[in-house]
Structure 1
Amino acid sequence: MEDYNNIYERIKHSGVKHYLMISLEHSFHMLLNGHIEDAKRHLLAAESWRYGRESTDQYQKVKLIQAYRSLLDYIIWCDKKFTLSGGNFNDPVGNQEMENYFRQASVNLKDILKNPGVWDQFILSYVEMLEFYEDHDEALNVLNDYAYDNNFPPNPNAHVFLYQYLKRHNAPGTKLMKALKILCVSVPSHELMLEYGSLLLQSEKASHLPKALGVVLEMLDFACWRSNLDVWKHLKAVIQKLQLREDWRKVVLEKMAGRKDWWPVLHFTSFHARKDSEENPELMEVKASLREVLCPDITLKYCAAGSSS
């Protein structure tokens, strides 16, 4: 470790333009070797380093250094929390140490939202600490800003984090659906779309049922869900509820209009029939019950061996 430290110190001073990034890399090396406090000290020293007239690039790198230093404060805070988790939360000294690291980490983690970017791990760390201290208003403000501030680049994870937080705190279905709505547009194949579809299915609003159908069909547009029994079961549940309406055929035909040329090839060939019957008979049963509903005007070869299509 001593040799590594000497090498890093030489590299830092061999070119001042790269001092900050090399300091950050040095701290990563220390962190990987379990020297968290040493890594933090190096980042604290790097924070105060300046060379010449401060440029925008240098300012941004200093902000990055500060963010990672705060992340180290969070890691130390986690270690302290783990130590106290055995029933020692009444220890005033231990609690005070935790609060000190929380305050140190919060300063820059909160400030991150002033610098647009993808800050997933930093935001999650800050929210975890806020939740621990039951500052739910601040946690929700941070997640809302991260998800909906147009100054930030589009980031599906931001909406995932907001949804997961709302779900943990038993938010009403309308708020959960709002959090997933944008995610559905940006990543229609996301695994949370199954939960989005379920929320829409449970809703009493009439327009939500066709929307639920669209959500699950979009999931099945992607090959990664092609053999997923839960998704097909959800599709069947949506259609069964939809069939209680007089206009159900019209709704299904509208959703399938742009799919009829390629969906049968993706899901309902004789190859799929053989594969599903061998690997997942229950999946085949569900799909077979839906083929004529989804593709009423098309002769499909998706059938069990020995039966007609």
Structure 2
Amino acid sequence: MDDLQRELGPLEDLEDDNDSSDDTSSKGKTSKLPLVNAMHAETPRETGFHKSTRACLELIREALLHHRWQEAAEYMACYPQMLEDPTNGKAQQYKELIWRISAEILHHHPNSKMEDYNNIYERMKHSGVKHFLMISLEHSFHLLHNGHIEDAKHQLSVAESWRHGKESAAQYQRIKLVHAYRSLLDYLIWCDKKFTYINNTEYPDCGENQDMHNYFRQASVNLKEILKKPGVWDPFILSYVEMLEFYEDHEEALRVLNDYAYDSTFPPNPNAHVYLYQYLKRQNASERKLMKVLKVLHVSVPSHELMLEYSSLLLQSEKKTSDTQKALGVVLELLDFACWRSNLDVWKLLKAIIQKLQLQEDWRDSVAAKMAARKDWWPALHFTSFHARKDSQQNPELKEVKASLTKILCPDLMLKYAQLDG
């Protein structure tokens, strides 16, 4: 919509930049104040053709804003004539505008058909080379969304072999992205074939198994390559690891997940540690290994739902004193976030941790140290009379657990929460 708004502004100078006119009176400094109703402004250089196409674009915008998709489609059928303007120095910009608006109309038009999408995507791909790869990628996404996996793969296969002139850095990056998504489609086809193969265990088809393995090899080649480049590649990682697990290549799967989680050249990504933890858990890894991964996740996302598992593992740890105190800190940090305020499991876990701490002589000092920075605001977050009434009505068990902890967590305060029966 921003591009559309720019196009509705006054038409820029369409004449040669080397205009030798001596009239400097009209070339003074332009005011930086915003123009009132700029979309209707006219310049002396606008022809009737320019005026009509600008008016058409304005009508398209109005139709889009009011969700009049049929009206927008009718106007859009006329607007591409802008590409035929011999004085237009911004052809690529207009092509992208036509591509974006056309796709938006088709996404919302109640009578749009797959043929309509195919026609507009093919037309825009071949109207210029600048956006060929991105349009091909978007086209394949739309085909995939509608269940046409093979057609989507064909679009990306064509885009993979596409080249134009000297390969720029941007073009190189886009081609790599096309490679990656084509491999993701190979993975989806592999999933379908795996499902068929697994469900035919009584009469296994060796040809089907070989075909499935071929898709695995095709997918893995580019997936390995894309994962060498720092970035957030979550769906590609999950796809590759699933295939490696199926073929029991656990060493490679663990290497990929470790690199994704701990390689400092990759951007920080909590999901990377989640995926590594889930994989290790599936492989029945030791509790120490699991806690090591969750410890890193805790630093970046202390409110993550896996912190419940982390604190439980700490509570069960053989290092009773230090790990139990760590578990207390993890649970209290969870409860620092309002989204966990009414979660019974968190409060029950907190109570279990404190009960274990009470086996130590200095347990009061441990709790007081963790609550020192919270005593000024925690009561307002958890222990008001409003919370007492709400918890009594919605979850009496939660009310009971929280009430039993008020004197332990805030021993110096007279809290209304524990005094109300609801």
Structure 1 length-normalised TM: 0.97
- Work out the CA distance in 1 between the residues paired with 2:164 and 2:171: 9
1:250-272 alpha-carbon deviations (Å, 9 max, x no partner): 11011001000000000001111
Q: Within 5 Å, give how 1:122-271 maps onto structure 2.
A: 122-205=236-319, 206-271=321-386
TM-fit CA distance, 1:112 = 1.7
Structure 1 unaligned residues grouped into runs of 5+: none
Q: Which residue of 135, 155, 159 corresponds with 1:46?
A: 159
TM-fit CA distance, 1:281 = 0.7
Residue 303 (structure 1) aligns with: 418
Is 2:215 aligned against 1:101?
yes
Shift >2 Å, 4+ stretches: 1-4, 87-90, 303-307
In the alignment, is the contact (CA less than 8 A) between 1:189 and 1:219 conserved in 2?
Answer: yes
TM-fit CA distance, 1:306 = 5.7
Is 2:57 aligned against 1:57?
no
TM-fit CA distance, 1:17 = 1.2
TM-fit CA distance, 1:38 = 1.4
In the alignment, is the contact (CA less than 8 A) between 2:406 and 2:418 conserved in 1?
Answer: no
In the alignment, is the contact (CA less than 8 A) between 1:219 and 1:225 conserved in 2?
Answer: yes
Structure 2 length-normalised TM: 0.71
Structure 2 unaligned residues grouped into runs of 5+: 1-113
TM-fit CA distance, 1:48 = 1.4
Q: Percent identity?
A: 77
Q: Which residue of 182, 198, 206 corresponds with 1:69?
A: 182
* Structure with bigger RCO (C-alpha 8 Å, 6+ apart): 1
TM-fit CA distance, 1:14 = 1.9
TM-fit CA distance, 1:85 = 2.1
SS in 1 for 2:159: helix
TM-fit CA distance, 1:304 = 5.3
In the alignment, is the contact (CA less than 8 A) between 1:163 and 1:179 conserved in 2?
Answer: yes
- Work out the CA distance in 2 between the residues paired with 1:9 and 1:199: 55
Which range moved further: 92-101 or 112-121? 112-121
Amino acid corresponding to residue 296 of structure 1 in structure 2 = P
Larger radius of gyration: 2
SS in 2 for 1:114: coil
TM-fit CA distance, 1:30 = 1.4
SS in 2 for 1:302: helix
- Work out the CA distance in 1 between the residues paired with 2:124 and 2:257: 39
RMSD: 1.2
